[in-house]
Amino acid sequence: MERTLFDEDHELFRDIAREFDERTVSPHYAEWDRLHMMDRSVWTSAGEQGLLGLAVPEEFGGTGMPDYRFRMVLDEEFARSNHLAVALAFHLQDDLVLPHLLAHGSDDLKERWLPGMVSGEIVTSCAWTEPGAGSDLRGIRTRAVRDGDDWLITGQKVFIGNGISGDASLVLARTDGSSGRGSSDAFSLFMVGKGEGYSPGRQLDKMGLRASDTAELFFDDVRVPGADLVGEVGQGLRYSLEQLPQARLGIAVAATALARASYEQTVRYVSERSAFGERVLDFQNTRHVLADILTEIRVTEGFVDRAVLAFNAGSLTPVDAAQVKLWASERATSITDRCLQLHGGYGYILEYPVSQAFLAARLLTIFGGTSEIMRESIGRSIADQPTRRK
């Protein structure tokens, strides 16, 4: 059974992505990993190669190519070479910030931000999570208060990818003056450019994906013009829910690509390593473990490929996307763990790709909504319509 998802255009795009990865990312990745920060030039080089902002319409500097299979090809290539930190940085901009601006940003916001996001001259982050609220976003405390035509934003965010390298952040803030757990219309989104009062805090020391920066962000009475509000006041949470399918799908795609890449690296390793006079691959246990892994990967690819086509057709629901994210990220965690075991002691050494993959995979069941929250979302849909065929 061959995978039939891609056509010639996707394969041509794959060649460009692979060359970009080999030429621009590979020579520097180890250094970025050490510094916890990739060079800004990776963004502009990606922009020059047409790898960013694929869905942006031509009038705002893009190519208007919303077909998600191109984003998928890019993730597969970064996973293949174990450069998933670059995929994560691009994911935050292209699967989170961008869809919100495309769906709800004014023409003025689009003109100011989108061309730079496509060229890579502008890097953005997405600031939802706070020290006291991650899964339960209604608990966030960052507030935006009107001051004439402007807003003043004050608060603290945490775990923000591209938080230090970014030039602007899409910030979720409370706009109804309430405290405690807010109602669904208590929050709004703002596109906030770096400036007075907006300062990145600590660079967080992550266990994996270290070549991408993740930070705290502080907003101290940051003055934001009314024109930087995204869409309407009070609609921020609704917009975020609306964009969940793409955010979750992006993580499922990366998880599947990572599992496949780890499997392939492991097959190469066990074919070359011997013990007791045999290749490790020739032990029955190894073959059985790999048989399970390959079968799980193919089932997962089938599910994720279908989800990508549903997303392209506009029919992927948040619950569908929760199922794909739950399944693919849990598989990636378990598969990279078993691949590591087949490497023996070398699996525990960071210079071996499998250990990096294991550490990268560990994020995927947490970030973008934990597995427990995915189960909540799926479980609620069952409870709401118990007799409907899912």
Interface residues toward ligand FAD, by CB under 6 A: 92, 125-129, 134-135, 159-161, 206, 214, 363, 366-370, 372-373, 376
Distance CA 298, CA 350 (A): 27
Tell me the closest approach of the beta carbon of residue 209 to ligand FAD, in angstroms. 7
Q: Which is nearer to ligand FAD, 163 or 305 (CB)?
A: 163
**155: β partners:** 219
Verify whether residue 95 is a known catalytic residue. Answer: yes
Q: For residue 304, how many other CB atoms are within 10 A of its CB?
A: 23
- CB 132 → ligand FAD: shortest distance, Å? 8
The structure tokens listed for 66 are: 């919303």
Cβ neighbours of residue 117 closer than 8 Å, sequence gap 6 or more:
52, 53, 56, 93, 97, 98, 123, 124
C-alpha span between 307 and 298 (Å, rounded):
14
If the CB atoms of residues 135 and 295 are measured against ligand FAD, the closer one turns out to be: 135
Find the shortest distance in angstroms from Cβ 318 to ligand FAD: 15
> Of 21, 33, 94, 95, which one is the catalytic site residue?
95
Query: What's the burial of 197, exposed, middle or buried (CB within 10 Å: 0-12/13-18/19+)?
Result: middle
Task: Output the smallest distance, CB 129 to ligand FAD, in A.
Answer: 3
Which of 89, 280 has the CB closer to ligand FAD? 89
Nearer to ligand FAD, 65 or 101 (CB): 101
CA gap 184, 187 in Å, rounded? 7
Q: What share of the chain is helix, strand, coil (3-state, %, to 5)?
A: 55, 15, 30
Q: Which is nearer to ligand FAD, 60 or 128 (CB)?
A: 128
**How many other C-beta atoms can be found within 10 angstroms of the C-beta atom of residue 227?**
12
> Residue 307 contacts by C-beta under 8 Å, 6 or more apart in sequence?
249, 252, 316, 320, 321, 324
71 or 343: CB nearest ligand FAD: 71
3-state secondary structure of 363: helix
CB of 131 to ligand FAD, least distance (A): 8
Q: How far is the CB of 136 from ligand FAD (least distance, A)?
A: 6
For ligand FAD, which residue has the nearest CB? Answer: 134
Q: Coil, strand, or helix at residue 168?
A: strand
Which residues are annotated as catalytic? 95
